[in-house]
Amino acid sequence: MDLANAKKITLQDKQLFNGFFQKYPPQNSEFTFTNLFMWRTYYNFLHFEYKEHLLLFSYDYLKTRREPINSDSKQYLYFFPPIGPNPDQIILETFKQFDNVEFHRVPNDICETLSSKKVFTDLKLACLEDRNNWDYVHEKEEILNLAGNKYRQNRRWLQKFLDNYEYDFQLLTPDLIDKCKELQLEWCEVRACTEDESLEAEQEAIYEALDNFTSLGFSGGILCVDKKCAAYTFGEMLNEDTLVIHIEKAHLEFEGAYQAINNMFLKNCCVNAKYVNREQDLGIEGLRRAKESYKPIRMVKKSIIYQKSQ
């Protein structure tokens, strides 16, 4: 495994990544080309092909967020789970070849497969649940219709928006990108994004996606009130039956705008989707409450695989 051949992600890699994702359909929200492209600079992703697998890694993607599990002065390699026919074998091979390795966003099935192998124990490997990065998965029809008592609060907010505003919803097109950026800028000014590294990084990632809307080919929606953008969202099909929502933003002055943009986008986009993956909450309390309010039917559980120091 020669890391010297690894390359940065560019738009020219879209066909390569999508080929792997079509052959090995992902459940993790991270694994769309749009998502990896828009976050490529922040996480300093590099990629390469090895034994029929696509591998993504970074030397420093955690450097500003937390120390490695086995904190020391050595440089760490942070991998995402390999995309290919035998990711468990590639993970073991990586640990055999390199010191100071961690695999992040590893789905439960891979951890379960690895944990049953003797070599996993021999290498002193362990799986640590990464709750902050679990994905929320919902039945599309349920969160579209919001029927029943459990969705009462979401339904009230949606109805408040519908009753109080003259609105216009459109699917995203290139000529509407600037309106999304206007809202994003206002959203960030209200929340002082320049004083919060994660919010500032998110804004840069959003601009990367919006500036390359046509090339990336994702879907989006924009909701306007009196020609002012009240909310926007964008996402794409993650696999054959699941839509993943990458970004959803709404202006605080329009009550119920978050519920409205979610509802209208699901009504008008990706009609064949059966499920909706609304990504992770990153351990942010308010975001967790908002995502839990839509009552997920399951979580895509992910873990960190690391090598114990003793």
* pLDDT tens column, 36-90: 999 999 999 999 999 999 999 998 765 444 556 666 556 789 999 999 999 999 9
3-state secondary structure of 118: helix
Helix, strand, coil distribution of the chain in percent, nearest 5: 45, 25, 30
- Whether 3-134+302-307 shares its CATH topology with 136-279 is answered yes
Write the DSSP symbol of residue 193: G
pTM of the predicted structure, to 2 decimals: 0.93
Residue 70 tokens, joined: 């086995």
Domain boundaries, the chain: 3-134+302-307, 136-279
Query: Residue 139 pLDDT more than 90?
Result: yes
Q: What average pLDDT does the segment 93-119 reach?
A: 94
pLDDT value at residue 243: 98
The answer to whether the beta carbons of residues 138 and 235 sit under 8 Å apart is no
Cα gap 76→101, rounded to integer Å: 6
Which pLDDT value is given to residue 275?
Answer: 98
pLDDT for the residue numbered 70: 64
Does the structure show a pLDDT above 70 at 212?
yes
Token pair listed for 22: 């079509």
Instruction: Look at domain 3-134+302-307 and name its CATH class.
Output: alpha beta
Q: CATH for 136-279, among 3.50.50.60, 3.40.640.10, 3.10.50.40, 3.40.630.30?
A: 3.40.630.30
Strand partners, 168: 224
The pLDDT value given to residue 99 = 87
How far apart (Å, rounded) are the C-alpha atoms in residues 14 and 32?
9
Is the pLDDT at 288 greater than 90? The verdict is yes
Mean pLDDT of 271-287: 94
What pLDDT is recorded for position 66? 54
What is the model's pLDDT at position 73? 52
| Residue 280, pLDDT score | 96
pLDDT given at position 74: 62
| 167 DSSP β-pair partners | 225
Looking at residue 253, its amino acid is E
Distances (CA, A) of 258 to 4, 104, 152, 232, 263: 45, 30, 15, 9, 9
268-278 average pLDDT score: 94
Instruction: Report percent pLDDT > 90 for the chain.
Output: 88
